[in-house]
A and B are shown apart, each in its own frame.
Chain A
Amino acid sequence: METTSKNPNSTTKKKYLISKSIDSFFEDLYELYTFIIRFFKESFSAPVEWKEIVNQCYAIGYKTLLLVSVTGFITGTVFTKQSRPSLSAFGAASWLPSLVSIAIIKTMAPLITALIAAGKVGSNIGAELGSMKVTEQIDAMEVSATNPFKFLVVSRILASTFMMPVLVLYTGLVGMMGAYLNVHANEATSFISFFISAFKTIEFKDIFTSLFKAICYGFTIGVAGCYQGYNAENGTQGVGRAANLAVVFSMFLIFVEELLIVQVLNNFK
């Protein structure tokens, strides 16, 4: 329960409430909470760093588009191909568009986009901010009367939060196109017929739920990357650790959020 303080020369010992690791976990949680609160405070205070936000939108959204599009196309095609035998066994191959649209629009598009973005954007933000932190660039910004939190953190979190729904829309469209090409190649279904069948089982609620998920995932990726990078320590080793933790932390939170959102929103009709 008791351990030595950070200063080895100090003779006083710091008392932990439970244990070092558990107390540290809750301390981190509190720091994350204050980090998010600060983000919201800085977001609604002038000036707004529009230029940096646009730059981050470009980096996070546009630069990730190709990656998530290819992933979405492959996902739609493979999912359709893998689902066909199961449905054909029941003589229900005509239900493939409905099944694929439910899977892609309701779950796969937001989740895959978020995971890909967490890998690419999260690690990028973590490493970038971590490098700036360990090289004391952030401290330098403070000295030069620039608000580093607003410039670096708020712009990135807002950019990832805004860009993720757009990426999800692209991923959904590309994924459905991949599914259509596979269905057309096998069942010779027309484009219109495919999309009529696909939208038959989709509700407005499903689309807005996906967009809501995307916003949550984008915010999570931005917060996780910025928090880990902004609090990076111990030189280059800390940068790598921040990038790694940003990806792991954001991916873990994405799955937790997926579970919670599905559980909560399924109760709304």
Chain B
Amino acid sequence: MKNNRPVIVGIFIVLGLAILITTIFTLGGQKKAFVKSFALNTIFNDVSGLVVGANVLFSGVKIGTVKKIEFYGDSQVKVSMSIENDAESHIHKNAFAKIGSDGLIGNKTVVIYGGNKTQPQVVKNDFLKIENELSTEDMLATLQQNNKNLVDITTSFKSISKKIDAGDGILGKLVNDPGLGTKLANTITNLQSTVDNFKSASLSGKTVMGDFERLSGNFKNPTNSINRIANDSIAYNKIVGTVTQLQNASASLNKFTVNLRSVSERLNEKLNKKDAPLGLMLNDSATANSLKSMIKNLQSSSSKLNDDLEAVQHNFLLKGFFKKRAKEQEKAKETIIQQ
């Protein structure tokens, strides 16, 4: 047994070294420590806690690690990355770099994205452009602002709901007053009716527009009279001549009217004068009374004259004449009836 001790110790040590070597190669493979790589750089304003050894991702695939972080200029930070050669053909000069994160609270990473074949591939020691990513602090600040806004909104809603519940305002009355609700329902019904009317009017308007369209079509028809007027210069000239004559006639009528007004004014002026015969009759009451009594006398004289003439018809000297005329008149009536 004692002679086997060196062998056992040797196996023991070899197995231990095998564990160490396996661990180193596994870790190296995962950290891309044994692959050929090239350097890329980028300059950030803020690396948000990025550390050396952090992963570099492209399209979500780890393609390298951060090798060096150093200040650049006044306050910028230069990040040097070791990128494996296999990824070189996929990264173009117009690609961007930003600080990412493994989850919300995970380690910081550098994320390379974008870029296309319009630009050549990156080469060793190229500088990538950056895009500032929202940091966790920025997101939390925005979230805090959202929370404040939410509190304000809920407070306002609380106040509004209290007023509504108390029956204040239009909404409160609407919710709590059944009569107002009925009115609103009626209003909506009327509104619906109005809308229906509008719809009907719209249809009518559409019909009218159709008629106009047809009318316009008719106007376009060369056999149509209006179209002919529009296109026939002779007829148009005749119409223009007729309209001119009408204008002349109108002017003459206007002149006649002016003359008539002048005559009327002069007549009116004379009628208003008491020394003129007509003015005297129209304006002097004494003359009017004399005329009235004169007309009465004439009526009375006429009535008496009728009585006298009736008496003459019954006189024996003239009685035959009247009988003869009556017979001739009856005979003329019968002839007319027979015809």
Contacts and interface: CB of A to CB of B under 8 A. Distances in A.
B5 A54 contact: yes
Contacts of B24: 204, 207
B337 interface: no
Given A62-B12, A65-B12, A169-B19, A54 B27 contact: no
B52 A55 contact: no
Given A62-B12, A203-B31, 11 more contacts: A65-B12, A165-B16, A166-B16, A166-B17, A169-B16, A169-B19, A199-B26, A199-B27, A202-B27, A204-B28, A269-B52
B100 to A, nearest CB: 16
B50 interface: no
What range describes how many residues of B lie at the interface? 20 to 34
B5 A170 contact: no
Contacts of A62: 8-9, 12
A196 B55 CA distance: 14
A174 to B, nearest CB: 10
A172 B5 CA distance: 24
A204 B9 CA distance: 26
A213 to B, nearest CB: 14
Chain A contact surface mostly: helix
Contacts of B13: 57, 61, 162, 166
Contact of B16 (A170, A199, A200): A170
A203 B26 contact: no
Given A54-B5, A196-B30, A169 B20 contact: yes
28 contacts: A54-B6, A54-B9, A55-B2, A55-B5, A58-B5, A58-B9, A61-B12, A62-B9, A65-B12, A162-B13, A165-B16, A166-B12, A166-B17, A167-B16, A169-B16, A169-B19, A170-B15, A195-B26, A196-B30, A199-B27, A199-B30, A203-B31, A204-B24, A204-B28, A204-B31, A204-B33, A207-B20, A211-B20
B172 interface: no
B255 to A, nearest CB: 106
B12 A200 contact: no
A170 B23 CA distance: 12
Contacts of A181: none
A170 B9 contact: no
Given A61-B9, A269-B52, A207 B19 contact: no
Interface in A40-96: 54-55, 57-58, 61-62, 65
B53 interface: yes
Contacts of B15: 170
Contacts of A55: 2, 5
Contacts of B17: 166
B52 to A, nearest CB: 6
A153 interface: no
B54 to A, nearest CB: 11
Contacts, number: 55
Chain B contact surface mostly: helix
Interface in A197-211: 199-200, 202-204, 207, 211
A173 interface: yes
A269 B69 CA distance: 12
A58 B24 CA distance: 26
Contacts of A170: 15-16, 19
What range describes how many residues of A lie at the interface? 20 to 34
A211 B19 CA distance: 12
Most chain B Cβ neighbours within 10 Å, of A65, A166, A170, A202: A166
A65 B5 CA distance: 14
Most chain A Cβ neighbours within 10 Å, of B16, B24, B31: B16
A167 B17 CA distance: 11
Contacts of A269: 52
Interface in B5-49: 5-6, 8-9, 12-13, 15-17, 19-20, 23-24, 26-28, 30-31, 33
A92 B93 CA distance: 37
A61 B12 CA distance: 8
A258 B274 CA distance: 148
Contacts of B31: 203-204
A11 B144 CA distance: 85
Most chain B Cβ neighbours within 10 Å, of A165, A196, A200: A200
A62 B15 CA distance: 12
Contact of B19 (A65, A173, A195): A173
A61 B17 CA distance: 14
Given A54-B6, A269-B52, A207 B27 contact: yes
Nearest to A65: B12
A206 to B, nearest CB: 9
Given A199-B26, A199-B27, A204-B33, A58 B8 contact: yes
**Closest 3 pairs (CB-CB, A-B):** A166-B16, A58-B5, A169-B19
Contacts of B8: 58, 62
A58 B15 CA distance: 14
Contacts of A166: 12-13, 16-17
